[in-house]
Amino acid sequence: MMEPWTIGAESTIYRLEQWGRMVLLKHRPQKPYLLKAIDEFLRTSRTSRECKMLTVARNLGVPTPMVYWVDMHRHYIAMEYIQGKQLKQLVAELAADRLQKITCKFGKLIGLLHRGGVVHGDPTTSNVIVNQKGDIWLVDFGLAEMNATVEMKGVDLHLMKRAFETTHWDHEEIMWSAALDGYRTIHSDETENVFSRVEEIRERGRYH
Amino acid sequence: MSIICLGIEGTAHSFGAGIASSDGNVLSNIWDMFSPDEGGIHPREASRHHSDVGPSVIRKAIEVASIDVTDIDLVAFSRGPGLGPCLRTTATIARALSLRLNIPLIGVNHCVAHIEIGCLESGFKDPVTVYVSGGNTQIIAYAGKRYRTFGETLDIAIGNMLDTFGRDVGMRFPAGPRIEREARNASNYHQLPYSVKGMDLSYSGLLTAAKRLVSEGVPMADACFSVQETAFGMLAEIAERAIAHTRKKELLLTGGVARNDRLTDILLGVAKRHNAVFHRVTPSLAGDQGAMIAWTGILQHEAGDRLNIADSIVLPKWRTDEQDIVWRKS
């Protein structure tokens, strides 16, 4: 077995060379601590969903890695390897204007998804890949959904905001406002409704 | 000379008094849980319970600790989050003691106290904490002077979900232990809504569907089993997302629902996959109790935190990440 490149929450990622190029192999391994029926359902549905949504997203104008092949029985997806770093790793070292620009693009891409009726499902800075030139890609579409309602879009932005809050607390404000600026550039009748829903959602889960 | 703190906890259904010393010992930990004959917890009835049992619980805590009331150096109380009437009753008792004994008053965040007592017991320095109880479902980790909520429920808490389901099928409050026993005799799993959104989750759809299972004649054991496996599976996933995201190497399980053995097994598996150390807080320190308030009160006091009685208004919606963790160095 190859050495994992990284271990994620629900997957193990490998890097390999195939057909003369670098390929990223995403495997959703069995989790012996979960009930088998649930584990099997999640591995299958997430693998299938991710393949489909990577393509759906790209059709909406959102850069995502290309899918090369998929093995639905063993829960593998082989996809394009993007040369770059996770936004999470870059936040601390980027100059303020550059960070603002990149986060603005991140917000814009989420806006494009939302306008197309899609939510990402896990829009953290771990799932944004940035290259040298500052181009960005969205990855990890295992939790993405179509036919998104205002509520689902509100939750999506709420998750993004919380990622800034928990992981980039010292840049939280500039990142959130840059992301909203980017989101706003994608015109949709729903935008203001989604924004006010974010506030509502934030209050909801708390101890009342 | 070590400092002795009396901690009073009364955020919801339990009233507790615990005594801890600054060398890290819990000298006593007494509580009394309000359990109505039927139905759930009414905040007003719970607060009446607290004022009825408060004095005797505190007296007993002092007695068990084998100290004199004049040995107490500080009084800490659960200032929030929680049910307003319960918090006010508890705060009133704490203020009275502070004035009567002429000792400092410390306001403690209930959620933060759960983490700190867990760290004291486990020796953990920087865990990802899974805090699960009747009113809370949170994945918390320390970052930048605060305990930050990385994930939480978008609607109802896990304990609340279990209790509401239990009440609907005729179980007494709290229903968690009974559901756990029933689940052991199950033979079939029935699929229930599994709803994870990033590091958040939602239990309301699961609750509705679980009630329907029972009304459709699915055996109680199977329904309980299906509820547990689905609800805990979701929790494991968000905990795992938090560990993968933060790369922390300690996983702490606390809160009343930490008593569940199946949940413990699942989270142990999660920790193993990520080479993290796992600890479940012992039942007597996992639920709502005064010792955690006393211990956190000591930490805050040592870091110079003080609360004037005039400013000691309770904070029913006090979020975990609104408390500056002044006693932690890094």
A69-92 pLDDT, tens per residue?
999 999 999 999 999 999 999 999
**What are the residue boundaries of the structural domains of chain B, listed by start?**
4-114+287-322, 124-284
More confident residue, A1 or B47: B47
Could you say which DSSP state residue B191 is in? -
Q: Assign domain B4-114+287-322 to a CATH class.
A: alpha beta
How does pLDDT run across B23-56, given as a tens digit for each residue? 999 999 999 999 887 777 899 999 999 999 999 9
Asked whether the beta carbons of A150 and A180 are under 8 A apart, the reply is: no
Residue B1 has pLDDT above 90, yes or no: no
Contact A123 B229 (CB under 8 A): no
Six-digit token pair at B121?
Answer: 């017991």
CATH of domain B124-284: 3.30.420.40
Residue spans of alpha helices (H) in B216-321: 220-246, 261-273, 283-286, 290-302
Q: What is the pLDDT of residue A29?
A: 96
Six-digit token pair at A118?
Answer: 């899609």
H/E run at residue A181: helix A172-184
**Residues facing A86 on adjacent strands:** A129
Assess whether the region B4-114+287-322 and the region B124-284 belong to the same CATH fold: yes
Contact B233 A34 (CB under 8 A): yes
Six-digit token pair at A149?
Answer: 């309602």
List Cα–Cα distances, B200 to A156, A176, B2, B69, B185, in angstroms.
10, 19, 41, 45, 30
Domains of chain A: 6-80 (3.30.200.20), 85-204 (1.10.510.10)
Backbone angles phi, psi at A62, to 5 degrees: -100, 120
Asked whether the beta carbons of B76 and B43 are under 8 A apart, the reply is: no
> Residue B207, Cβ neighbours under 10 Å: how many?
22
How does pLDDT run across B166-210, given as a tens digit for each residue? 999 999 888 999 999 999 999 999 999 999 999 999 999 999 999
Residues 122-141 of B with CB under 8 A from A: 135-136, 141
Residue A158 has pLDDT above 50, yes or no: yes
- Closest CA relative to residue A173, chosen from A160, A164, A182: A164
List Cα–Cα distances, A154 to A114, A148, A158, A193, B97, in angstroms.
10, 10, 6, 8, 46
Q: What is the rounded CA–CA span in Å between residue A196 and residue A183?
A: 14
Contact A207 B135 (CB under 8 A): yes
Task: Please return the burial class of A73, using the count of CB atoms within 10 Å of its CB with bins 0-12, 13-18 and 19+.
Answer: exposed
H/E run at residue B113: helix B110-122
Q: Which residues of B touch A166 (CB under 8 A)?
A: 141, 143, 148-150
What is the arithmetic mean of pLDDT over B61-86? 97
List Cα–Cα distances, B41 to A190, B27, B163, in angstroms.
39, 30, 10
Q: What is the pTM of this model?
A: 0.94
List Cα–Cα distances, B294 to A162, B7, B82, B251, B269, in angstroms.
31, 4, 18, 23, 32
Q: What is the rounded CA–CA span in Å between residue A137 and residue A149?
A: 24
Considering only the beta carbons, identify the residue of A9, A35, A42 that sits closest to B229.
A35
Percent above pLDDT 90 for chain A: 89
Separation of CA B278 from chain center: 18
* The B14-21 sheet, strands edge to edge: B25-33, B14-21, B4-9, B74-80, B105-109
Quick one: closest CA in A to B147, which residue?
A166
